């Protein structure tokens, strides 16, 4: 067995082992054990050489666990955001509590990347919608702070919207609001730019269906920033199929190579 094949097998076995450990936990709320397992999983995914991604994804142990890895990652991220949103809302000093959120820098760097892509593609928008803002709406707040325009965070989960509003009241800039709406039927005609969060659409096919419906809900010329993933990072987030985006012209696809996991697809709604 060559060294590369050995490394591929070791990485696949490690991911499979971590997946099984996470699946056996009684809950995915933040605690030292849960946090350590998720941290190890993310590190293992990010540390794998890009050239080995295809073989790792095709490995039998990974192939039969792929849906489970993505489901655990999504549920774990949601539980993490809920817990930290509640912590920030209850804190005497919410700003200081926010700065201790372990992934704050990742959110800030991804949002900064997207703001740069957005302004270089269409200038500063008059209004932005973030679809799938979640209970800890760091991207929504980041857009509002960077662009100085009205930003709305949308989420289908009412509990997430309630928490997002409370977080926004404690640490958010002006001109931010949060509303309950499903990506499948939200009216997006009032926005120059729409951001589609990474967890909206559990699979590539589900995400493609959401994008088709969003095309009909956005006005011509509006920009779309859809968070995606590539390579082994697709274990954690479903990718966007840029070949299945009718109604959009894809302008750019950016794949970070650092520990910012998500790729970004920039597209314009066609007339």
Q: What is the pLDDT of residue 7?
A: 86
CA distances for 158 relative to 45, 63, 139, 162, angstroms: 32, 34, 18, 6
Taking each helix axis as running N to C, give the angle between helix 66-90 and helix 158-171, from 0 to 180 degrees, rounded to the nearest 10: 40
CA–CA gap between residue 18 and residue 98 (Å, rounded): 28
Q: Cα 212 to the chain's mean position, in Å?
A: 19
Q: How far is CA 126 from CA 149, 155, 192, in A?
A: 6, 21, 6
Closest C-alpha among 243, 263, 241, 238 to residue 253: 263
The C-alpha atoms of residue 17 and residue 4 are separated, in whole angstroms, by 20
So where are the chain's domains?
3-99, 104-269
Q: How many CB atoms lie within 10 A of CB 221?
A: 11
Centre a 10 Å sphere on the Cβ of residue 156 and count the other Cβ atoms it contains: 16
* Domain 104-269 CATH class label: alpha beta
Say if strands 223-228 and 263-269 run parallel, antiparallel, or are unpaired: antiparallel
Q: According to the model, what pLDDT value does residue 4 have?
A: 59
Residues 85 and 168: their CA atoms lie apart, in Å, by 10
pLDDT value, residue 2: 57
Cα–Cα distance between 22 and 235 in angstroms, integer? Answer: 14
Looking at residue 48, its pLDDT comes to 94
Q: 227: part of which helix (H) or strand (E)? A: strand 223-228
C-alpha distances out from residue 8 to 13, 62, 185, 239, 259, Å? 9, 11, 42, 22, 20
The distance in angstroms from the start CA to the end CA of the chain is 55
The pLDDT value recorded for residue 152 is 98
- Model pLDDT for residues 61-110, shown as the tens digit of each residue: 999 999 999 999 999 999 999 999 999 999 999 999 999 999 999 999 99
State the 10-residue block means of pLDDT for the chain, 271 residues long. 73 97 97 98 95 95 96 97 98 97 95 95 93 97 95 97 98 94 92 96 91 95 97 96 95 93 97 93
Distance from the Cα of residue 16 to its chain's centroid: 22
Res 202: pLDDT: 87
Per DSSP, the residues of 98-135 read HHT-TTHHHHHHHHHHHHHHHHHHH-S-S-EEEET--S
């Amino acid at each position: 067995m060559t060294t590369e094949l050995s490394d591929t097998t070791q990485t696949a076995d490690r991911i499979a082992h971590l997946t099984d450990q996470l699946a056996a936990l009684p809950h995915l709320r933040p605690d030292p054990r849960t946090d350590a397992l998720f941290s190890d999983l993310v590190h293992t995914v990010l540390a794998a050489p890009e050239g080995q991604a295809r073989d790792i994804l095709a490995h039998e142990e990974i192939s039969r666990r792929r849906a489970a890895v993505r489901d655990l990652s999504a549920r774990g991220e949601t539980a993490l955001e809920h817990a930290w949103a509640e912590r920030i809302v209850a804190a005497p000093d919410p700003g200081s509590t926010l700065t201790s959120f372990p992934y704050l820098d990742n959110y800030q760097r991804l949002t900064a990347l997207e703001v740069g892509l957005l302004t270089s593609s269409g200038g500063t928008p008059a209004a932005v919608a973030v679809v799938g803002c979640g209970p800890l709406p760091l991207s929504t707040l980041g857009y509002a702070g960077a662009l100085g325009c009205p930003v709305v965070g949308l989420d289908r989960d009412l509990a997430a919207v309630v928490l997002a509003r409370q977080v926004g009241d404690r640490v958010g800039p002006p001109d931010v609001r949060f509303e309950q709406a499903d990506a499948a039927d939200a009216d997006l005609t009032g926005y120059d730019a729409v951001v589609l969060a990474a967890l909206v659409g559990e699979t590539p096919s589900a995400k493609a269906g959401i994008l088709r419906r969003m095309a009909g809900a956005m006005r011509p010329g509006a920009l779309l920033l859809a968070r995606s993933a590539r390579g082994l990072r697709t274990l954690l987030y479903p990718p966007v199929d840029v070949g299945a985006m009718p109604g959009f012209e894809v302008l750019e696809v950016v794949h970070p190579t650092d520990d910012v996991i998500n790729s970004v697809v920039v597209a314009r709604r066609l007339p």
